[in-house]
Chains A and B, each alone.
Chain A
Amino acid sequence: MIKAILIFNNHGKPRLSKFYQPYSEDTQQQIIRETFHLVSKRDENVCNFLEGGLLIGGSDNKLIYRHYATLYFVFCVDSSESELGILDLIQVFVETLDKCFENVCELDLIFHVDKVHNILAEMVMGGMVLETNMNEIVTQIEAQNKLEKSETFIFQSPRQDR
């Protein structure tokens, strides 16, 4: 099971947080801070696994992360997940973002966190991996965008275009 997925930048500013276990907002922020603290002090060429997400309980939990330019993608998982598999999943996630946003950069994530959530929802559901095939994910996302567009046509929502 995946316990949480966090994206934050090099300064620890959260860009996406998805917890698959309920935590209070304060605890969530604390977890993000702690995770940032753990991850950010690591060198570039050390391994991508970290033991002890202390706040997200359970000793068999691991932090698996990747660092892309200004962003950290961190998955907190338990022992039922394959470490290398999750690393691949992060890669798929990032590539999917890249496809959906066309050359994704931090700004895309800053301004369209809802879209990032929607993409993530097609990959991971309730902490379990739903789909790993990028083409399938992109197809579903595009179909939903289309559906959304057809709706906005009928129903003008406030300043969607800006």
Chain B
Amino acid sequence: MALKMVKGSIDRMFDKNLQDLVRGIRNHKEDEAKYISQCIDEIKQELKQDNIAVKANAVCKLTYLQMLGYDISWAAFNIIEVMSASKFTFKRIGYLAASQCFHEGTDVIMLTTNQIRKDLSSPSQYDTGVALTGLSCFVTPDLARDLANDIMTLMSHTKPYIRKKAVLIMYKVFLKYPESLRPAFPRLKEKLEDPDPGVQSAAVNVICELARRNPKNYLSLAPLFFKLMTSSTNNWVLIKIIKLFGALTPLEPRLGKKLIEPLTNLIHSTSAMSLLYECVNTVIAVLISLSSGMPNHSASIQLCVQKLRILIEDSDQNLKYLGLLAMSKILRTHPKSVQAHKDLVLQCLDDKDESIRLRALDLLYGMVSKKNLMEIVKKLMTHVDKAEGTTYRDELLTKIIDICSQSNYQHITNFEWYISILVELTRLEGTRHGHLIAAQMLDVAIRVKAIRRFAVSQMSTLLDSAHLVASSTQRSGICEVLYAAAWICGEFSEHLQEPQQTLEAMLRPKVTTLPGHIQAVYVQNVVKLYAAILQQKEQAADAQAAQEVTQLLVERLPQFVQSADLEAQERASCILQLVKHVQKLQARDVPVAEEVSALFAGELNPVAPKAQKKVPVPEGLDLDAWINEPLSDSESEDEKPKAIFHDEEPRHAKQRPPEADEQELARRREARKQEQANNPFYIKSSPSPQKRYQDAPGVDHIPVVQIDLSVPLKVPGMPMSDQYVKLEEERRHQQRLEKDKRKRKKRERERRGARRHTSLHTESDEDITPAQRVDIVTEEMPENALPSDEDDKDPNDPYRALDIDLDKPLADSEKLPVQKHRDAETSKSPERQDVTVVEKKSKKPKKKEKKQKEKEREKKKKKEAEKGVDLDFWLSTTPPAATPAPEEPGVNAAVTAPKEEPRGEEQDAGKDAEQDLEKPSEQKKKKHKKDKGERSKDKKRPKKRAPPREGDAEPVQNGALREEPLPPMSSYSLLAENSYIKMTYDVQGSLQKDSQVTVSMVLENQSSSFLKNMELNVLDSLNARLARPEGSSVHDGVPVPFQLPPGISNEAQFVFTIQSIVTAQKLKGTLSFIAKNDEGSTHEKLDFKLHFTCTSYLVTTPCYSDAFAKLLESGDLSMSSVKVDGISMSFQNLLAKICFHHHFSVVERVDSCASMYSRSIQGHHVCLLVKKGEKSVSVDGKCSDSTLLSNVLEEMKETLGKC
């Protein structure tokens, strides 16, 4: 046994570390998988060891294996063990592994909450940092909810290293727990002006991410960002801000106007290409957002285009790429200015870099016009021939189709040309986009009636040519076009020259090698053709020929009956029977053509893709209503079917939509026609027989005439699209001549009429008339379709949840959940249970309170109004310096204060009150809440006379009392007050600094004067002194870093150095300031006494029960106790009060007894045992310093006495 143990520990010495593992894997190239599985077995052994170093080493190796693709989720628990190691080295390994493999589905992740919380509040900044980094990768909604408050506290950490990480991770928290956004936002905003550039950059980063998704909520930050933009020198921050402005400008054109100038300056001055590029991008966004009302608009456009041209001409491919990318944005609104650079774009099409070619293709999309479409497509077609890789060629193909079909074939003047382009594209072998071409062919043939004859002739040649059928082996390859060809030939068979020939082509045995769905279309359209031929023959009274056709079908159709495709098979056998029947009738000389044709009578119209969605819900139909009432669980199984039938019938009768009567329908139809008639884009369906191109006899045959031996092998009988270019040019020339002639005549006439006409004639797009009078049939929409464009929004967008109005004042209910200690007896949300309220005595007489409140409310109202004006004011053309500094945090903070709090929200006030994470400037509001809460509780009091006793097993009653809140609490207390100013303060210690406390002082201007030059001075004692700036004497005051306009409050922080913390003490001090109003300015001062209680040296520190027990056992602690009588407050509230006011945390709670812990800034442990009796509370304390303990207990007694 002993030997085994020794052997075990020796084995440990030969454990592989990460480097050994990597080396081993490299040495086992042949049997890598086997070696790794062996290693994993070893790792499993190591993980069973108690030694944390061994475990960490194993986890480190697992992280490496994870990168190689091995699932390591089985070790999740071990990873958590390593995360909770006390050593940073191991902790980091654990968190790294967790960040690589934990996700929302990891079930043990909930076990990490407490560990992470502990690490977040660790005194070592790197422990905190590593926890934040890890958390950012695997935060879940639960973790986000539980830790949001802790992270928010870290946003004001003393170390910028922690601050920036905390700020950054908030974005992830918001995503997972959107409720946290509003409470955290004020602080996030504050961080935009953090003195540390890293923190500032992080805050900008987060707000930009947020604003990108929901820009409208962040418009009010524009002034602040504007200030940052003009002051910051950090390119990263600048880029982010400029990008953000790009997202904001579409919402507020005035912002754009304001931006143009500084952005243009940046464009001219910066040497950083990245910044230049983003500036250009945002200027483009601005220009897009501005309607063309601005006069010097074109100058900016020119500047952008010119800068972009420089980028595109640069030898750096990256710049070239980005230049093209930005160019495509300008293109959307200012195509003219980009079209001037067509040469450059076409040149880029020849670039060796595919990314650049693709970008150039994008640009082409917007560059085409009626004038140059043919030319550009011709160029693209030559690229198609040259393109080597199929991906790029496919991309070209889709682009050609996109370019041509854009906005309802707007740029196509000659559809014959387009059809021949499509036919030419069918020569591409191995493309994935056969179906695209097919769709275009169908679309054009259906919607452009005039082209059908030509299309049919082309399609019949396609059907006839063998090469397409041969390519059918590839899936969804080019043979897809046969689908379209067959359908077009069948549907529009009346245009076919040689229907018999086409019919035979479609019945060739080779056809059966085509994919099933194409065969099915073949079969169906064979019958259409057959019907057409029958009709033709019967009209010609050629019974013999008609019977021959029937015979052909009877012979050939069986090959489809054997098709592997069900659809083809079914159709074929059905039709075969039909044809056989026809054959019988024909034998008896019965005319059948009419009847067979009747099968396919009527025309099919295209239906808009959105049509189904647009069908309006008929009046009286509620789609959300149950058709059958949902069955209640109590119903027994066998009753169910009965119930369904009972319910169904009456409901059906009820829900039938009211049928619109004939008249109504006719009226609507008329209205629609009217609308179409007024719509310039709707091409009316009145075919007029003009256009000589079409009138010329035998146009369809022109292509066949062509004999050009220099042209590479072409599929015979196919037209060349190129010749259309020439034809088109001639046609346009002719047109121009005619037009000029007409114009000249007109001008002469005008001259005679002594009228002046100065416009110079240039050929514009509008002048070019299409070769065919095209009637593009609009797609059908249901009657009454609702015009809406909301179809594209994705309801599952995770960012939607973050669309939150941030300017709305924060409601009470919107506080972040604070860590709550679970008591031993109840595990579920103890904070909400059995909360009895005993109102605190008001410190001030009611009247005064009320008065003051009203006063403040008014002030707030004013501020609210001011705020609305703020942005407008800033955006108005006055220089920014003249604005009343809306950037000042005080103003912004005050602005967020609520106008009035709805009563209903008070319920949650208690829950929230425990936390002291409030933004300093919210103090005022807090106070009000408290007062208000008290008053409303006054009213409620009679109802709650009998408070349930602790420990009563009355869950129902407890539940019923749920809504009773904890009394709201504030840690700020009044320091001094006069007619000018009111001061409240709070003292906080930090574990990092053992002899320092920070006093946060909220200064509120209560007068109508402007307060400035505020200075705080304190008479130092031996034990406590104010930290003054270097070089100043002990008698100098410390200036307050802000001024106070009337009605504004702001918070200042002062650091005090404390020697001994075991006793409380008071410091006398004075605040001096200059009050300035219309009559002049006066020097004023206000004396105060700062009270440093012993409690204020305590810092809430969580403690685990085992550590707590050890501490008590150690015997180093001295003991003391107090007892307070006459307490009627619930134990829960009592504990909350102690936690809040005295900075303790609950370690454990059993019935009406709880242990609590806190720690002083100098490391004293303070342990309490709080017991509640009938009407009294006893507190036993143990502490490493007896004086401190007795002082703390005295202070506690005072607090408890008020309960």
**Are A84 and B274 in touch, CB under 8 angstroms?**
yes
Q: Which of chain A's residues has its CB closest to B51's CB?
A: A158
Instruction: Give Cα A128 to B203, complex, Å.
Output: 11
Q: Which chain A residue shows the least CB distance to B353?
A: A46
- In the assembled complex, the Cα of A132 lies from the Cα of B198 at a distance in Å of 9
Which residue of chain A is the closest to B213 with respect to CB atoms?
A: A80
The contact string, 1 if C-beta is below 8 Å from chain B, for chain A 86-111, is 01100000000000000000000011
Q: Name the contact of B172 in the complex, choosing from A29, A117, A126, A162 (C-beta under 8 A).
A: A126
User: Nearest Cβ distance between residue B204 and chain A, in whole angstroms?
Assistant: 11
Q: Contacts A80-B209, A114-B63 given: A157-B355 contact, CB under 8 Å?
A: no
Contact present for A143 and B126 (CB under 8 Å) = yes
Instruction: Please indicate which of the listed interface residues A14, A17, A112, A117 has the most CB atoms of chain B within 10 Å of its own CB.
Output: A117
Contact indicator A84/B320 (Cβ below 8 Å): no
Complex contact B355–A47 (CB within 8 A): yes
Q: Is A159 a contact of B15 with CB atoms below 8 Å?
A: yes
Q: Verify if A144 is at the interface (C-beta below 8 Å from B).
A: yes
Please, which residues of chain B bring their CB within 8 A of the CB of A148? 88-89, 92
Decide yes or no whether B655 CB sits under 8 A from chain A.
no
CB pair A46 B352 closer than 8 Å: yes
Kindly state whether residue B225 has any CB partner on chain A within 8 Å.
no
Contact in complex: A110, B353 (CB < 8 Å) = no
Instruction: Flag whether B507 is at the interface (Cβ < 8 A).
Output: no
Task: A29 to B65: give the CA distance in the assembly, Å.
Answer: 12
In angstroms, Cα B60 to Cα A118, docked, is 12
A16 at the interface (CB under 8 A from B): yes
Indicate if the CB atoms of A131 and B104 lie closer than 8 Å: no
CB pair A125 B165 closer than 8 Å: yes
Is B53 part of the contact surface with A, judged by Cβ < 8 Å? Answer: yes
Shortest Cβ distance from residue A27 to the other chain B in the assembled complex, whole angstroms: 10
When C-beta atoms are compared, the residue in chain B nearest to A24 turns out to be B71
The reply on B236 being an interface residue by CB < 8 A is yes
- Residues on A with C-beta less than 8 A from B212 are 80
Which residue of chain A has its CB nearest to the CB of B205?
A128
Q: Is the CB of A155 within 8 A of B53?
A: yes
The smallest beta-carbon distance between A16 and chain B, in angstroms, is 7
* Cβ–Cβ contact A26 & B137, under 8 A: no
Min Cβ gap B621→A in Å is 37
Residue of B nearest to A114 (CB): B60
- Cβ–Cβ contact A130 & B67, under 8 A: no
Is B93 a contact of A125 with CB atoms below 8 Å? no
B209 touches A128 (CB 8 A): yes
Is B87 located at the chain interface by the 8 A CB criterion? yes
Q: A26-B69, A80-B243, A84-B318 are in contact. Are A151 and B198 (CB under 8 A)?
A: no
**From residue A123, how far is it (CB to closest CB) to chain B in Å?**
11
What is the bound-complex CA distance between A123 and B88, given in angstroms? 19
Residue of B nearest to A78 (CB): B212
- Determine if A133 is an interface residue (Cβ-Cβ < 8 Å): yes
Q: Is the CB of A144 within 8 A of B126?
A: yes
* Any B CB within 8 A of the CB of A82: yes
In the assembled complex, which residues on chain A have CB atoms less than 8 Å from the CB atom of B89?
Answer: 148, 151-152, 157
Contact partner of B57 (CB less than 8 A), chosen from A45, A50, A113, A157, is A157
Which listed residue (B103, B165, B318) contacts A130, Cβ 8 A? B165
| A48 to B322 CA separation, bound complex (whole angstroms) | 11
Against A, the Cβ 8 Å flags (1 = close, 0 = not) of B794-835 are 000000000000000000000000000000000000000000
A162 partner, pick from B19, B105, B136, B358, beta carbons under 8 A = B19
Output the nearest chain A residue to B356 by Cβ-Cβ distance: A47
Are B205 and A20 within 8 A (Cβ)?
no
Q: From B73, which residue of chain A is reached at the shortest CB distance?
A: A25
Q: A85–B355 contact, CB under 8 A?
A: no
Cβ-based interface call for A40 (8 A): no
- B923 shortest CB reach to chain A, Å: 32
B243 to A126, Cβ gap below 8 A?
no
In the complex, the answer to whether A128 meets B168 with C-beta atoms within 8 Å is yes
Q: Is the CB of A133 within 8 A of B321?
A: no
Report chain B residues within 8 Å CB of A69: none
Is A28 part of the contact surface with B, judged by Cβ < 8 Å?
yes
Interface contact B133-A121, CB-CB below 8 Å: yes
> Which of B96, B126, B320 interacts with A117 by CB under 8 Å?
B96
Query: Is A34 interfacial (CB-CB < 8 Å)?
Result: no
Q: When chains A and B are docked, how far (Å) is the Cα of A69 from the Cα of B1131?
A: 69
A-contacting residues, B1034-1058, CB 8 Å? none
Q: Which residues of B contact A48 (CB under 8 A)?
A: 317-318
Instruction: Classify chain B: how many residues form its interface, as a range.
Output: 35 or more
B136 — which chain A residues lie within 8 A by C-beta?
A: 125-127
B111 at the interface (CB under 8 A from A): no
A1 at the interface (CB under 8 A from B): yes
Is the pair B239, A110 in contact by a Cβ cutoff of 8 Å? no
Question: Quick check: A85 and B92 within 8 Å, CB to CB?
Answer: no
B1172 contacts which chain A residues (CB < 8 A)?
none
Set B56, B88, B206: member contacting A157, Cβ < 8 A: B56
8 Å CB interface, B319-347 against A: 320-322
Shortest CB-to-CB span from B327 to chain A, Å, is 15
Say yes or no for B54: interface residue by CB 8 A criterion: yes
Docked Cα-Cα span, A84 to B303, in Å, equals: 21
Q: Say how far B746's CB is from chain A's closest CB, in angstroms.
A: 52
- Residues of chain A within 8 A of B67, CB atoms compared: 14, 16-17, 113
Question: Which residues of the other chain, A, contact B415 by a CB distance below 8 angstroms?
Answer: none
**A162 CA to B202 CA in the complex, in Å?**
39
| Contact B205 A129, beta carbon cutoff 8 Å | yes
Cα A152 to Cα B138 with chains together (Å): 28
CB distance B278 to A80 under 8 Å?
no
A65 to chain B minimum Cβ distance, whole angstroms, is 11
Q: How far apart sit A128 and B136, CA to CA, in the bound complex (Å)?
A: 10
A26 to B354, CA, bound (A): 29
Q: How far apart are the CA atoms of A1 and B71 in the complex, in Å?
A: 26
Are B274 and A147 within 8 A (Cβ)?
Answer: no
| Distance (whole angstroms) from the CB of A75 to the closest CB of chain B | 14
The answer to whether A29 touches B57 (Cβ under 8 A) is no
Kindly provide the distance from the CB of A136 to the nearest chain B CB, expressed in whole angstroms: 7
Decide: A47 and B63 in contact? CB cutoff 8 A.
Answer: no
Given contacts A121-B133, A144-B88, contact A158 B12 (CB under 8 A): yes
Residues of A near B235 (CB, < 8 A) are 85
Instruction: Decide yes or no whether B171 CB sits under 8 A from chain A.
Output: yes
Binary flags per residue of B457-490, CB closer than 8 Å to A gives 1, else 0: 0000000000000000000000000000000000
Judge if B169 is at the interface, Cβ distance under 8 Å.
yes
> In the complex, which residues of chain A have a beta carbon less than 8 angstroms from the beta carbon of B87?
151, 155
Q: A26-B69, A125-B133 are in contact. Are A130 and B202 (CB under 8 A)?
A: yes
B161 CB-CB contact with A under 8 Å: yes
Within the complex, what minimum Cβ distance (angstroms) separates B366 from chain A?
A: 18
Decide: A1 and B22 in contact? CB cutoff 8 A: no
Q: Provided the pairs A17-B67, A129-B236 are in contact, do residues A50 and B355 lie with their beta carbons within 8 angstroms?
A: yes
A51's partner among B124, B161, B355 (CB-CB below 8 A) is: B355
Cβ proximity bits B1124-1138 to A, threshold 8 Å, 1 near / 0 not: 000000000000000
- Chain A residues with Cβ below 8 Å from B70 are 25
CB-based nearest B residue for A86: B274
Q: Across the interface, do A110 and B60 meet the contact criterion of CB distance under 8 Å?
A: no
Cβ distance B357 to chain A, nearest Cβ, rounded Å: 10
The answer to whether B64 and A113 have CB atoms under 8 Å apart is: yes
| B66 interface residue (CB < 8 Å to A) | yes
Q: Which of A43, A132, A151 contacts B88 (CB 8 A)?
A: A151
- Quick one: CB contact mask for B959-978 with A, threshold 8 Å, 1 for yes? 00000000000000000000
Which residue of the partner chain, among A43, A112, A159, contacts B352 with CB atoms under 8 Å?
A: A43
Residue of A nearest to B46 (CB): A158
In this complex, the member of B89, B201, B206, B235 whose beta carbon has the largest number of chain A beta carbons within 10 angstroms is B89
Q: A22-B103, A84-B322 are in contact. List 7 more A-B contacts (CB 8 A).
A: A22-B105, A46-B356, A80-B243, A85-B236, A140-B161, A158-B17, A159-B17
Q: Sort A-B residue pairs by CB-CB distance and give the 7 closest, nearest first.
A: A126-B136, A84-B274, A22-B103, A47-B317, A46-B353, A157-B53, A29-B69
26 cross-chain CB contacts under 8 A: A45-B317, A46-B352, A46-B354, A47-B318, A47-B320, A49-B318, A50-B355, A82-B239, A83-B318, A84-B277, A85-B239, A110-B26, A111-B18, A114-B18, A114-B63, A114-B96, A118-B96, A126-B171, A128-B171, A136-B198, A140-B161, A157-B56, A158-B12, A158-B13, A160-B17, A162-B19
